[in-house]
Amino acid sequence: MRTMRLGTSDLEVPVVAVGCMRLDALDPREAERFVHAALEEGACFFDHADIYGGGACEEVFAEAVGMNDRVREGLILQSKCGIRPGAGMYDFSREHILASVDGILRRLRTEYLDVLLLHRPDPLMEGDEVAAAFDTLEREGKVRHFGVSNHHPRQIDLLQRSVRQPLVANQLQLSLTHATMITSGVHVNTRRDAAIDRDGYVLDYCRANDITIQPWSPVQDETTGGTFLGSDAFPELNAALDETADRHGVSPTTIAIAWLLRHPARMQPVVGTTKAERLRECARASDVELTREEWYALYRSAGHTLP
């Protein structure tokens, strides 16, 4: 699979990341087949979070991949912390971040994470607390790179004012049907609802600051909780996906991911499937280059307009 640099780091990563949020739904044999299918595709970047399956997804992954020192050398592992669902709150305190990472490392059976993301903004965040946690994790060799998830530009600026380490990634929801980051930029200075800035123009901010955007739920239909692929709710979009897929000799899934990769922001989509064949289709997007005409045709078919 084609690779890219993650943010301003020296870390070369696959352009498609494997999301592990649903791994605990697989039995051990299924999980092993899925993880090794990903590796066969060159998809060696695995995205976790301490809340996925209450930590079980990390344990399932470690068992499925057969974690040991040799195996670890071929993996790029990212996890997230900061959400305390049982307590009904977020927590960016030094103590919670450090304890969370220790738990993550124990469950993944590794001595370090390649990337740690703070998982949604904590309104009570104290920059000095986060900085102290990051410094400790870096000094002890437990985390090599840091980033955020679901943060807007001013929140990133506020955090970056305190932490020494560059924030190399920002994980944000983005897809053909959830494209407010793009539509607000297209409709600047108009009276249309699409012009409403809901995120501080985070896409352009991340581009200007070399922060890699990691789109999550890249094929999700928010109205049903399923996928927009083949959904009766999106007939025009699926017709355009089918037509473009036929032209390139790939599946509509591949085209949906290729649409994100075509954007010059150099994004790294995080795909959440647990099906090996669907993952292979996502990985094939690495080899598909949509034309400008194809990209805009898909954009319009999803119901997005131009001024």
- Give dist(CA 195, CA 180) in Å, integer: 9
Half-sphere exposure of 163 (CA within 13 A, CB side): 30
Q: Could you confirm whether 112 is annotated as catalytic? A: no
Asked if residues 143 and 135 have their Cβ atoms less than 8 Å apart, the reply is no
Alpha carbon distances (Å) from 153 to 167, 198, 251, 307: 12, 11, 35, 25
**Catalytically annotated residue among 52, 90, 205, 299:** 52
Among all residues, which ones are annotated catalytic?
Answer: 52
